[in-house]
Homo-oligomer: A and B are copies of this chain.
Amino acid sequence: MEPIGYRTPSPGRLDATFAALADPTRRAILDRLASGEASVSELAEPFAMSQPAISKHLKVLERAGLISRGRDAQRRPRRLEAAPLAEATGWLEHYRQFWEENYQALDALLEDLKAREARPSTSRKRKKQP
């Protein structure tokens, strides 16, 4: 069972990704970056926390590959890098069958989508729902 987009990442990378996601401040930072890049001070603003603390969080996110650093004058704007999130999601997809009621229907739909991506002009017939 290999869901779309899943290639097994190195265990260490998953370690770093999940560890980075285990902190609410860091998740909030990622949420913020989902709406576009932002400078360190912009990222720090919502939190009742010193700027060095935010810099530490950013370093954790960066070492996990979840963000990258740009440069604009004195600013070092951060950007979201979604690849590790995709890997983490991929790992979790293995367990989808354990909570998804209609897992098989969903899986069929995903397979269908994949098939249509591969040959775009193919008929749009749907797989039967089991």
Contact = CB atoms under 8 A, between A and B. Distances in A.
Interface residues of A, number: 42
A15 B5 contact: no
Contacts of A21: 14, 18
Given A24-B15, A106-B113, A89 B85 contact: no
B18 A22 contact: yes
Q: Report the copy number of this chain in the oligomer.
A: 2
A92 B85 contact: yes
Interface of A: 4-5, 11, 14-15, 18-19, 21-24, 27, 30-31, 34, 80, 82-83, 85-86, 88-89, 91-96, 98-102, 105-106, 109-110, 112-113, 116-117, 129
